[in-house]
Amino acid sequence: MTTQPALRIGIIGGGISGVALALDLCRHSHLEVQLFESAPAFGEVGAGVSFGANAVRAIAGLGLAEPYAQVADRTPEPWQDIWFEWRRGSDAGYLGASVAPGVGQSSVHRADFLDVLASRLPEGVARFNKRAVAVEQEGAGVRVRFTDGSDYRGDLLIAADGIKSALRNHVLEGIGAAPAAPRFTGTCAYRGMIDSLRLREAYRAAGVDEHLVDVPQMYLGLDGHILTFPVKQGRVINVVAFISDRSRPDPQWPADAPWVREASQREMLDAFAGWGDAARVLLECIPAPTHWALHDLAELPGYVHGRVALIGDAAHAMLPHQGAGAGQGLEDAWFLARLLGDPRARDAAPEALLAAYDALRRPRACRVQRTSWEAGELYELRDPQVGNDEQALGATLASRFDWLWNHDLEADLADARRRLGWEALSHCA
């Protein structure tokens, strides 16, 4: 008997999606996994990240339910099923709520989640200070080169290197598509973290209902919205205050300007002048916010070229308005892990495996991109059908996320297996 060599899989990018995928793939003896991260150590930018019911299922499916539970936050009882309450920015008047039964608002600090994932990676899987600059496909393999002059040769390459992916255009050029670069959306966000006891005291002093601390909130206004939810086991409230400039149809961000910078509290308060006490007191509790220029990607015509696949923000960076960006990356990781982790993957054509991933994941991820932008229009009273009609707004927000949260990933996986001819093999076994 001959021993078949392991399928060599390289993962570029050590964010949440890349590390989650590596963790799952490392469990399989027919796979040899190497993860490359450009930084000297794992690290995430940003603060709180929200996961819908679909993402929580993907996390569990990746075998990460226990580490996630260590660091995740949930809306406290008796509001445990509430994702967000929706309120007017002008006076915090109640407009409705979005309910996710059994999940509610499931959120975590990005860095905390990545830390708990990375600590579980087997020794030697991750290599640091490896910034990818070019990739070549050569017959029965793929080669990626790094800025330090080294390279990696494998059977498959997964690009999880984010919105500024160095490998995305290799895929697009390979399928005859135009290059794609991040685009400024016209929306900026002020971010900050507030000690929950401090916010509670500030609300109490201002006569603002403390319920607004206990339950995730979304304050809506014309061309702006503010969200709050807890992280770090409820000790800290994550705040993101969005403001959109709609003065031009093709907003541009200066090429030499940083996407993230420090901002003054006065600048942030001026952006939300005229909003109500709940919003004002909330923002007054953030003495030194950061300012983020939000970029996304246009929907791509393909995520795969030959033996190279894009996942996460490298494939479908989106606005954060549905709390779905990181979740889509985790769905990508779950889906690829199920395909590559199947022992039959060793005998399958790598190109066919990745083509099945592209066929099943891309339509859904593109829809999530599109509806994330539409959600921002809805929150900022610019939806062409709903506008500022509060009754229609409440009714729409109550149900518009159901399709996103209740998606059947197992059905997608079954379809992929059929495309690969695996179901027939299973029935014959």
The answer to whether 177 and 305 are in contact (CB under 8 A) is no
Q: For residue 40, is it within any domain?
A: yes
248 is catalytic: no
pLDDT of residue 429: 35
Which entry of 57, 191, 307, 417 is annotated as an active-site residue?
Answer: 191
Q: Tell me, what CATH number does 326's domain have? A: 3.50.50.60
Q: For residue 78, is it within any domain?
A: no
Q: For residue 319, is it within any domain?
A: yes
Report residue 214 as tokens. Answer: 């206990």
- 12 CB-near residues (< 8 Å, 6+ apart): 18, 36, 132, 144, 157, 158, 159, 160, 161, 166, 167
Whole-prediction pTM value? 0.95
Q: For residue 274, is it within any domain?
A: no
Q: For residue 30, is it within any domain?
A: yes
* Confidence bin at 3 (pLDDT 50/70/90): low
- pLDDT tens sequence across 329-372: 999 999 999 999 999 999 999 999 999 999 999 999 999 999 99
- pLDDT tens sequence across 5-42: 899 999 999 999 999 999 999 999 999 999 999 999 88
Q: For residue 178, is it within any domain?
A: yes
Please count the structural domains in the chain: 1
Q: For residue 408, is it within any domain?
A: yes
Report residue 129 as tokens. Answer: 């200070």
Domain enclosing residue 318, as ranges: 7-73+110-182+298-379+403-428
Query: 378 vs 94, 108, 358, 371, CA distance in Å?
Result: 16, 25, 30, 10
Q: For residue 100, is it within any domain?
A: no
Query: 136 vs 141, 143, 155, CA distance in Å?
Result: 9, 5, 12
* Confidence bin at 174 (pLDDT 50/70/90): very high
Q: Is the pLDDT of residue 150 over 60?
A: yes
